[in-house]
Amino acid sequence: MRAPFKRIFGRESTQTERYLTILIIVYSLVVTFRNPPFFSFETVFDLIHEGAPTMIMAIGVLIVLVSGGIDVSFPAVATCSGYIAMKVMWALGLDSVLFMAVVAVLIGLALGTINALLIHLLRLPTLIVTLGTQSVYRGLMAAVLGTTMYPFAIMPPSLANFGTMNLFSVTSASHTYSLSIFFPILIVIFVITWFMLYHTMPGRAIFAIGSDAEAASRIGINLLRTRLLVYGYAGALAGLAGVLYFAAMQNVNPVALQGFELMVIAAVVIGGAKLTGGEGTLLGTVLGVLLFQLFQSTLVQLGLASTWSSFFFGIVLVISLAVIYYRQRKSDQRNLVFRVG
C-alpha cells in the first residue's frame, strides 16, 4: 500500500520537504505555547490572505530557477503591471477588478517576454539582464505615469472590495474567521503549474535546459521557445500577484516590494530549488514561503521585534543550503562525479 503522500503527488517526499515540515510544526508549537490563540482558523486564513501574492510570485521564481536562471525583476513587474493596469482602467472609465487583473497579466507577460528575448539574444547572465530590466521598468513607469500612492479612500472600489472578499466564514463562540477569495486563485495557479511542469513536454524542457542547456539544445529542445514560456509565465504570474498585493494591502503603492526579490528567491531556495537549475518542487516552494510568512507575522508574539525575521530566515537559509550542497557533494563522490569550482 502506497503512502498517502505518494498517492497524492505520485512521488516520494524529498528530504528538504520533510525537514521544512518538521521545522514549521515545531516553530508553530513554540508560538502556540507562548500565545495559545495562534492555533486557530484565523491564523491559517490570515496566512493565506497575506501570503497569496508572495506565493504566486514564488511559483514564478521556481519556474525560472528550475530553468537555470535567476530573475530579480519580478517585484518591479508586479507593481508596474498592477499600477499601469489601474491607470488604463481609470482612463477607460471602468471600475472592474477582473479587467484590471487581465490587463496586469498581459503587461506582466509582455515584460517577461522582453526578459526572455534579452537573455536569449544577448546571451548575458539572467541575473544581469533582469537586474537591468528591473530598473528600466520602474524608471519608465515613474517617468510616464508617476509614482503617486492611492490609499484605501481613493483606490478603485472594486479593487478594495476584492481585497476583503471571502469564500466563506467560520463562526466560533467569540470570533468569525473568513477564508479569502485569494485561496481558489492560488489553488488554480498551483494546479496549472504542477501540470505544466510534470505532465507536459514544455515542462520537461524547462528541467532539461536547467540541467544542461547545451545538451538540451542538442537533443532538439528549442531554447528560445522554452525561455519565452519560462519568463513569460513568470511575468504573467507577477502581474496577477501585483493586483492581489494591492488588494490585500488596501492601497496602491507603485514603489512597494522594492528589495523583496531576495527574500522570495531565498524562500524558494529553502524549499529545495537549486540555484544551478534543474531541480525544485512546488510543495517545497509552498513550505519555504510558509516559513517566511510565519517569521514575518509571529516573531512579535514571541516577544521579538519583526526586524528579527530576516535574521532567523537567514539562519534557516544558510543551514538549508549547507545541507543541500553537502548531500550533493556526497552524491557526486559516490557516483564519481567531479565538478569544477
Convert the pLDDT of each residue in 242-271 to its tens digit. 999 999 999 998 888 887 888 899 889 888
Per-residue buried b or exposed e for 220-235, using 16+ beta carbons within 10 Å of the residue's own CB: ebebeebbbbbbbbbb
What integer is the mean pLDDT of 210-233?
92
Amino acid letter at 141? Answer: M
**12 confidence band (pLDDT: 50, 70, 90):** confident
Q: Is the per-residue pLDDT at 333 higher than 70? A: no
pLDDT for 116: 95
| pLDDT for residue 25 is more than 50 | yes
Cell numbers representing residue 194 in the block? 504542477
Rounded average pLDDT over 185-190 = 94
- Which run of H or of E encompasses 178? strand 176-180
pLDDT of amino acid 335: 59
Q: In this structure, what C-alpha cell is assigned to residue 112?
A: 517577461
CA 169 to chain centre: 26
- Report the top-level CATH class of 41-307: mainly alpha
- The reported pTM is 0.89
Characterise 259 by phi-psi region: left (phi > 0), alpha (psi -120 to 50), beta (else): left
Burial of 14 (C-beta count, 10 Å sphere; 0-12/13-18/19+): middle
Considering the chain, what percentage of its residues have pLDDT values greater than 70?
88
Instruction: With cut-offs at 50, 70 and 90, classify the pLDDT of residue 89.
Output: very high
* Cα(85)–Cα(291) distance, integer angstroms: 31
The C-alpha cell that represents 144 in the structure block: 510616464
How far apart CA 55 and CA 60 sit, in angstroms, is 9
Which 8-state DSSP code applies to residue 150?
A: B
Count of beta carbons in the 10 Å neighbourhood of residue 150: 18
